[in-house]
Structure 1
């Protein structure tokens, strides 16, 4: 099942820089792992924001929740999820 996910990251200024750098490195490694596996299908940055729109391929709501809550920056994110369905006029399968 495909999901469009909007993630807005809000890291508090009080978090030490070394911790922020560590979390960002872990986040990047995990995101790239999921992309290589085909779970994180698309990842787009929103210009001018610390935010993205992504498309995930997960078996269902519970699996998507597990993936998102495992993101190292998850505690500092606002997330909205939109389930997607194949459009009948699309010329390519999802």
Structure 2
């Protein structure tokens, strides 16, 4: 199951520099683990914003929820989730169909 995820961070101003640095360090570590596990397939940054977009590949919505909530900064993000299915045109192309 592939899922497109948009994370729009809104870190509280009350976080100290040390807390922010620790949060970013932990987020990076967990994000790299999720990439190594194949759960996060691709990641992008929206130009000029702190918004991140990622493509996830998971077995179930439960697995996705557990993985997403394991990211330390997710609680400071607005999250938009879009489950994806294969487009019929792509399926036809992969089967070698021609116009």
| TM-score computed with the length of structure 2 as normaliser | 0.87
C-alpha separation between the residues in 1 aligned to 2:65 and 2:34? 14
- 5+ long unaligned stretches in structure 2: 95-99
1:75 is paired with a residue whose SS is helix
List structure 1 segments (4+ residues) > 2 angstroms apart after TM superposition: none
Which residue of structure 2 lines up, in the alignment, with residue 56 of structure 1?
Answer: 56
Compute the displacement of 1:62 (Å). 1.1
Compute the displacement of 1:37 (Å). 1.7
Which residue of structure 2 lines up, in the alignment, with residue 44 of structure 1?
Answer: 44
User: May I ask how many residue pairs the two structures share in their alignment?
Assistant: 92
1:31 is paired with a residue whose SS is helix
Higher Rg of the two aligned structures: 2
C-alpha separation between the residues in 1 aligned to 2:4 and 2:21? 27
1:89 is paired with a residue whose SS is helix
Compute the displacement of 1:54 (Å). 0.5
Give 1 or 2: higher helix fraction.
Answer: 2
- 5+ long unaligned stretches in structure 1: none
Which residue of structure 2 lines up, in the alignment, with residue 17 of structure 1?
Answer: 17
CA root-mean-square deviation: 1.1
Compute the displacement of 1:26 (Å). 0.7
